[in-house]
């Protein structure tokens, strides 16, 4: 029996080293090298090159620039995130927490895809009967859809050669194993090697493949980080399991923008596309309540109104607690410091909680002004008004800076019935005059708080 060879693989970047170290020599991450045993003498599989394959280098002027061929998935929100549809010959990775709806989304796509091509759904986690029961619940009925329950990669590739499908869904990549790789299913080596072979057949046959991947505790897709570099598109399905809304976000897309998001609502009959997410996110908003303010975030080309809630309470123990959900914690701490330093509101020793309603995560700084106003509103216990929104980036000096696509945001704010909006004074000249919407230009957070909440100390 051949002796086993031991190597160490970094879980972050996929680098291999013969010796263990506390720090990865390639990416510098700590405690990421994991032991992997390989059979001695095992050679790496070589890519099969068709006989008619031209190996001569070509001049760049001779290369064809034909547009990639796309097809509609039948789910408008998924098409938006992919960039006007799925690309033929692409390898797409869909990640998300267990039970978030990844399998539901792709099974619905199999039944709604706007194509006459064959579709093969490979399941490694459920039986064929379970897939049939789910398909009946989702009303997925198609003679073009084939189901194959298998975890062995060789059998899966044989099924692809026999059926010759055009679209393949693999649920999930962590359950697939290659018999030639001496490692357990779901390990870093198995995930990497299986994905590499799937990538090879995807490009050779011109398939459109969707891989479902699980995520780890820190929110990243399980397996080596190199997995995300191998595929053409990486989609994250986000949302809280106890809420009905789901957000599909692209973190990598070789054929489109990575700023677009898709909004879905989980129903008993599956996922429903939300055409107007702003109206949905603001539904159920409390009236005349303090500690809440609305802003307009730009996700790709889509403006979305989001409600930011804050709760500021006194803490006599002098060990203030701070929590943020939907906004970066470090940015929330910075805004609290600016609010105390530039507005003379002593919020430093108060317990502070910030939440973005609907499960949205606001990354752009345009939501800073609304966050500051919600914090000040909660501390002073004065509502900002049900028809007021705020847009603007807050600097460390308390100044309010311009944001991109201001007119597009203002149009969405006015469309949803808001009558007042706080904007940076520097952007007033380029702001369009929208009927029914009063603009409140301010230069810093002190002016904004005075204009919206009024001067003075906390009401007794």
Q: Residues 420-448: pLDDT tens digits?
A: 999 999 988 888 889 999 999 999 999 99
- Residue bearing tokens 């007119």: 407
pLDDT in tens, 287-318: 889 999 999 998 877 899 999 999 999 888 77
Among 12-26, 47-61, 150-164, which stretch is predicted with the lowest mean pLDDT? 47-61
pLDDT at position 219, please? 61
Decide if 120 contacts 163 (C-beta within 8 A).
Answer: yes
Take residue 256 and report the two structure tokens written for it: 């489109």
pLDDT at residue 50 greater than cutoff 60: no
Take residue 446 and report the two structure tokens written for it: 């002190």
Quick one: DSSP state of residue 46?
Answer: P
Decide if 124 contacts 213 (C-beta within 8 A).
Answer: no
Please name which of 87, 388, 137, 107 lies closest in space to residue 255, comparing C-alpha atoms: 87
Split at pLDDT 50, 70, 90, the class of 181 is confident
Decide if 221 contacts 213 (C-beta within 8 A).
Answer: yes
Among 66-70, 71-75, 376-380, which stretch is predicted with the lowest mean pLDDT? 66-70
Interior/surface letters 154-193, b for 16+ CB within 10 angstroms, e for the rest: eebeebbeeeebbbbbbbbbbbbbbeebebebbbbbbbbb
Taking only Cα atoms into account, the Rg of the chain, rounded to an integer number of angstroms, comes to 26
87 CB burial (10 A radius; 0-12, 13-18, 19+): buried
If one compares 165 and 216, the residue with the highest pLDDT of the two is 165
Please name which of 269, 265, 238 lies closest in space to residue 251, comparing C-alpha atoms: 238
């Amino acid at each position: 029996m051949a002796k086993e060879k031991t190597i160490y693989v970094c879980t972050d970047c996929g680098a291999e080293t013969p010796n263990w170290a506390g720090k990865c020599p390639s990416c510098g991450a700590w405690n990421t090298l994991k032991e992997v045993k390989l059979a001695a003498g095992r050679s790496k599989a070589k890519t099969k090159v068709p006989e008619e394959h031209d190996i001569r280098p070509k001049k760049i002027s001779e290369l064809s620039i034909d547009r990639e061929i796309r097809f509609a998935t039948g789910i408008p929100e998924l098409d938006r995130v992919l960039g006007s549809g799925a690309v033929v010959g692409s390898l797409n990775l869909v990640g998300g927490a267990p039970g978030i709806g990844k399998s539901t989304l792709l099974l619905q796509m199999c039944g709604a895809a706007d194509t006459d091509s064959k579709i093969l759904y490979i399941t490694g986690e459920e039986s064929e009967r379970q897939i049939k029961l789910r398909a009946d619940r989702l009303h997925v009925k198609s003679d073009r859809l084939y189901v194959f329950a298998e975890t062995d990669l060789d059998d899966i590739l044989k099924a692809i050669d026999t059926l010759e499908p055009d679209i393949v869904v693999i649920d999930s990549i962590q359950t697939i194993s290659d018999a030639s790789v001496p490692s357990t299913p779901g390990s870093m080596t198995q995930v990497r090697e299986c994905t590499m072979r799937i990538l090879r057949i995807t490009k050779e046959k011109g398939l459109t493949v969707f891989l479902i991947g699980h995520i780890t505790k820190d929110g990243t897709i399980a397996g080596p980080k190199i997995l995300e570099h191998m595929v053409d598109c990486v989609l994250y399905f986000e949302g809280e399991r106890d809420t009905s809304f789901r957000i599909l976000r692209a973190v990598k897309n070789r054929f489109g923008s990575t700023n677009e998001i898709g909004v879905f609502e989980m129903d008993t009959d599956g996922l429903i596309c939300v055409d107007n997410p702003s109206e949905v996110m603001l539904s159920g908003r409390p009236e005349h309540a303090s500690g809440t303010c609305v802003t307009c975030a730009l996700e790709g080309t889509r403006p979305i109104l989001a409600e930011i809630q804050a709760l500021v309470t006194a803490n006599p123990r002098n060990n203030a607690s701070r929590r943020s959900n939907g906004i970066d914690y470090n940015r929330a701490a910075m805004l609290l410091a600016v609010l105390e330093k530039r507005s003379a509101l002593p919020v430093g020793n108060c317990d502070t909680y910030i939440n973005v309603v609907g499960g949205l995560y606001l990354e752009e700084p345009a939501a800073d002004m609304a966050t500051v106003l919600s914090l000040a509103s909660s501390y002073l216990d004065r509502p900002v008004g049900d028809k007021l929104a705020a847009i603007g980036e807050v600097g460390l000096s308390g100044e309010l800076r311009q944001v991109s696509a201001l007119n597009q945001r203002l149009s969405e704010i006015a469309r949803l019935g808001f009558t007042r909006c706080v904007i940076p004074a520097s952007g007033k000249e380029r702001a369009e005059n929208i009927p029914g919407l009063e603009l409140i230009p301010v230069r810093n957070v002190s002016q904004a708080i005075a204009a919206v909440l009024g001067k003075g100390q906390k009401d007794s």
